[in-house]
Structure 1
């Protein structure tokens, strides 16, 4: 199965970051997470959602509402939401 490529915009670098984090929490290979499929389909639960929110706060220094992962329920939607809040993944990966 070939997954859709992320768009070439400011949200694109966030796809990889989000997918890598979610793959750990969902016990899946990052390549198996389709950015357009609701994360609940993959088994995301409240623990995963809260952990992801904590990672975003720690990594990017912005407060996020614990409902973020439910309100923006796909990798694509999460990436767009975070990009709209000014989150950017530096060229070398994550923050030092």
Structure 2
């Protein structure tokens, strides 16, 4: 799974997951505003974090949406963490 996930893949997956959580189309979402303003609740954030953990094969704290409140911020953080983990292997 490691080499097939590239920069941008995480952002796209995160957009799709948030859109599903709030019953909207991915293109309707603004990625530069806090997900809480998109009506993403804490239950959805925990679910998204768990799904990303499985997909990326790395631990993701459920507080990610508070530490990095926007989709852009979360994706950038996750991409850096993922790439750092997988380039060290």
How does the TM-score come out when normalised to structure 2? 0.80
1:34 Cα shift? 1.0
Look up the match of 1:86: 82
Count of residue correspondences: 78
Secondary structure, aligned partner of 1:65 = coil
Look up the match of 2:19: 23
Question: In the alignment, which of 47, 51, 54 is matched to residue 50 of structure 2?
Answer: 54
**Structure 2 unaligned blocks of 5 or more:** 1-5, 84-89
**Structure 1 unaligned blocks of 5 or more:** 1-9, 88-96
1:12 Cα shift? 2.6
Question: In the alignment, which of 23, 32, 35 is matched to residue 28 of structure 2?
Answer: 32
Q: Is the 8 A contact 2:68 2:74 kept in 1?
A: yes
Q: Is the 8 A contact 2:35 2:71 kept in 1?
A: yes
Q: Give the whole-Å Cα distance in 1 for the aligned partners of 2:42 and 2:31.
A: 19
Q: CA RMSD in A?
A: 1.4
Going by fraction, where is helix more abundant, 1 or 2?
2
Q: Is the 8 A contact 2:45 2:62 kept in 1?
A: yes
Q: Give the whole-Å Cα distance in 2 for the aligned partners of 1:64 and 1:43.
A: 21
How does the TM-score come out when normalised to structure 1? 0.74
